[in-house]
């Protein structure tokens, strides 16, 4: 029973570089959301996608973008990385146990910008 899978688990990038993070939701589930969790804080909403359409966007700069593919997997892209982008990036999927109102999260990608 595959849950939400994210890759890579860890990543180190240099300021100014670009990064792509990947997520596969629970099999058959069409909704994917992305959150940023800075150390010591709760997750902050970045994007939600449903059937390849952007349904919501948080208060993040245009350097952050995402897309969803026909198989419902998703990519989060961040351009021109800043030190402040260092965080745990979490992907969430709707979960059959909780219907449309309860996410299951992946284990995240830890991004370090140096």
- What is the rounded distance in angstroms from the CA atom of residue 15 to the CA atom of residue 56? 27
Residue closest to 29 by CA, chosen among 75, 97, 109, 107: 97
Spatial separation of the C-alpha atoms in residues 96 and 93, rounded to whole Å: 10
**CB of residue 86 vs another protein: minimum separation in angstroms?**
15
Closest CB 23 distance from another protein, rounded Å = 13
By CB under 8 A, name the binding residues for another protein.
33, 35, 40-45, 48, 55-56, 58, 88, 90, 92, 95, 98, 101-108, 110
Cα(13)–Cα(114) distance, integer angstroms: 6
Select 38 or 80, whichever has its Cβ closest to another protein. Answer: 38
Nearest approach, Cβ of 18 to another protein (angstroms)? Answer: 24
């Amino acid at each position: 029973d595959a849950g939400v899978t994210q890759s890579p688990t860890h990543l180190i990038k240099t300021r100014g570089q670009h990064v792509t993070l990947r997520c596969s939701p629970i099999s058959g589930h069409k909704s994917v959301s992305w959150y940023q969790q800075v150390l010591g804080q709760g997750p902050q909403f970045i994007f939600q996608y449903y059937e390849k359409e952007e349904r919501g966007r948080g208060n993040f700069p245009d350097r952050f973008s995402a897309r969803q593919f026909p198989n419902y997997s998703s990519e989060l892209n961040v351009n021109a990385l800043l030190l402040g982008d260092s965080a745990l990036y979490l992907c969430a999927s709707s979960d059959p146990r909780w219907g449309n109102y309860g996410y299951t999260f992946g284990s995240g990608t830890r991004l370090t910008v140096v």
